[in-house]
A and B are shown apart, each in its own frame.
Chain A
């Protein structure tokens, strides 16, 4: 829904959620929460660190793969960012730590991206599609820590993708890899009516927005 002038006034509605302190940081239709709500389509997977790995793939070809201990030796980067869930909550100044996609590319010896899009895939079968450009220049992390502690399973641990400038369903929990795809195609929620890109500032919640 975009804000427009034609919305009828809701009789007696005053509203108490005006975020005057950080109004410029709240995308349209969002409200700030101090909680960290959990939203997932199925049960929380519990993958042991021994079984965990993270891979970059191009089609069926494996470009690189890291075990948990190998992943820990990669350069760790901290990212503080506001996150915005399509269910309308935003959370300010969330603190993440993990490995940037730039670092993964470097470690994999990739000087250029093989394609312009990736499909992130995760334990539990979840997938989501992203333009590679949105993952580069330290705009995205494979996060293994939240608030300086190991990421809890309910919030996507042991590792989740964090792409804070897009709606948070793009930040796949329990992420296990990125597959380069030649053409953009819908992931899990995108094939169920959610927007292919998901820019919160353009309120791209659902397909057609």
Chain B
């Protein structure tokens, strides 16, 4: 277990018979109370497909049911019922190529982290741009991981935008993602870039609409929207 940001925690799970997943997929987690009551939710896998464990990112929804348990109650050694990996569209495989534009809002970085981890071993030279929108610097998840990848990879660029408040020395963007920002970070349309957008519904709607305005064909934009509850995928 690892606290990643203000409200998010990574769960590293040892899964018996875990098979390599596809980068971008999720799993269903089911909890059972003493009286037999059950609740299940979906969480994105943030680890590399070839990793021997499954790392899930759980963003705590304050009035939620499963995420407060997983982020506050669960301890090392606890066991969970898992189903998956699930999902076959919001995935990236090396043969899909790129260049890749990966756009995340908040906890939406989780499936993109898996894609980046896969790319780092399977397609290291593939030009890739990450654009990550968070409320404040404290809300940036996997910041160190992203910066470590960027540090030793000239083909990878990472841009941040903060939507609520930014420190005085902040050099990144300070607004919601818009078409002008996408034009600055994006690739030439002639390079046939492939975009993945994951985050809260309103952010994904706005970013995907802006990508269409910038010139991305709809078929080159793959989206994963988290519902207003923050837990639906």
Contacts and interface: CB of A to CB of B under 8 A. Distances in A.
A89 B232 contact: yes
B39 A15 contact: yes
Nearest to A28: B38
A68 to B, nearest CB: 21
Contacts of B90: 41
Contacts of A7: 30, 32, 38, 81
Interface string A193-206: 10000000000001
Given A1-B83, A37-B229, A192-B88, A124 B218 contact: yes
Nearest to A87: B232
B232 A85 contact: yes
Given A8-B79, A15-B33, A37 B232 contact: yes
Contact of B31 (A15, A40, A192): A15
B39 A42 contact: no
* Chain A residues touching B, range: 35 or more
B80 A10 contact: yes
A125 B219 contact: yes
Interface in A1-56: 1, 3, 5, 7-18, 29, 31, 33, 35-45
B69 interface: yes
B30 A89 contact: no
A39 B227 contact: yes
Interface string B152-172: 000000000000000000000
Residue among B37, B40, B205, B232 with most chain A CB within 10 A: B232
B184 interface: no
A13 B31 contact: yes
Given A1-B30, A9-B33, A11-B78, A38 B89 contact: no
B96 to A, nearest CB: 15
A42 B225 contact: no
B188 interface: no
B222 A41 contact: yes
Interface of A is mostly: loop
A44 to B, nearest CB: 6
B208 interface: yes
Interface in B83-122: 83, 86-90
A81 interface: no
Contacts of A40: 223, 225
Interface centre among B28, B38, B40, B78 (most CB of A within 10 A): B38
Given A37-B227, A87-B232, A16 B81 contact: no
A41 B208 contact: no
A145 interface: no
B229 A1 contact: no
B144 interface: no
Contacts of B223: 40-43
Given A7-B32, A39-B232, A124-B218, A89 B227 contact: yes
A30 to B, nearest CB: 9
B72 to A, nearest CB: 10
Given A35-B228, A45-B218, A192-B89, A88 B41 contact: yes
Contacts of B40: 1, 29, 88
A202 to B, nearest CB: 16
A141 B81 CA distance: 37
Minimum-distance CB pairs A-B, first 6: A37-B227, A192-B88, A43-B208, A35-B228, A10-B31, A7-B32
Given A41-B222, A154-B205, A206-B86, 8 more contacts: A1-B81, A1-B83, A9-B33, A10-B32, A13-B69, A16-B65, A31-B65, A37-B227
Interface of A: 1, 3, 5, 7-18, 29, 31, 33, 35-45, 85, 87-89, 124-125, 154, 188-189, 191-193, 206
